[in-house]
């Protein structure tokens, strides 16, 4: 991410915020909500030099949908491993304050 590309940065911030907010709102219903990074994947966008195959890029998404424990909700993953957000304290405060507006 770069401050020189604000639209990309803001889209990632929004994705992370929505992930945390929906996870908090749906936790009591047993619905897990996570986001994930597929990595640099050999697609039309990633190009032939990308380091991951399409199967490798999809692996974490399939794992999250099919096998991952639901307790892992509200997190960000790559290669089936959690990537801890540096904004976690702020995001949790936003999640708490917004949960009522999503469920209320």
Average pLDDT for 33-43: 96
- Read off the tokens for 38: 């597929």
82 in Cβ contact with 72 (< 8 Å): yes
H and E: helices and strands count for the chain: 3, 3
**CATH number for the domain formed by residue range(s) 6-103:** 3.40.50.720
- In the structure, what pLDDT confidence band is assigned to residue 6 with cuts at 50, 70 and 90? confident
pLDDT score of 7 = 85
Average pLDDT for 99-104: 56
Residues 6 or more apart whose Cβ sits within 8 Å of residue 91: 16, 17, 20, 85
pLDDT score of 104 = 57
Positions marked catalytic: 8
- Read off the tokens for 9: 């940065």
pLDDT score of 99 = 58
- Using CA atoms, how far residue 52 sits from 33, 38, 45, 55, in Å, is 24, 8, 13, 8
pLDDT score of 8 = 80
What confidence tens digit (pLDDT) does each residue in 54-91 have? 999 999 999 999 999 989 999 999 999 999 877 655 55
């Amino acid at each position: 991410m770069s401050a020189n590309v604000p639209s990309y940065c803001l889209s990632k911030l929004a994705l992370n915020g929505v992930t945390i907010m929906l996870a908090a709102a749906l936790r009591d219903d047993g619905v897990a909500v996570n986001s994930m990074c597929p990595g640099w994947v050999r697609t039309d966008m990633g190009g032939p030099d990308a380091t991951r195959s399409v199967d490798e890029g999809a692996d974490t998404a399939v794992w999250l949908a099919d096998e991952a424990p639901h307790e892992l909700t509200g997190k960000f993953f790559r290669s089936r491993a959690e990537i801890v957000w540096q904004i976690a304290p702020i995001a949790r405060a936003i999640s708490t304050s917004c949960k009522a507006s999503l469920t209320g």
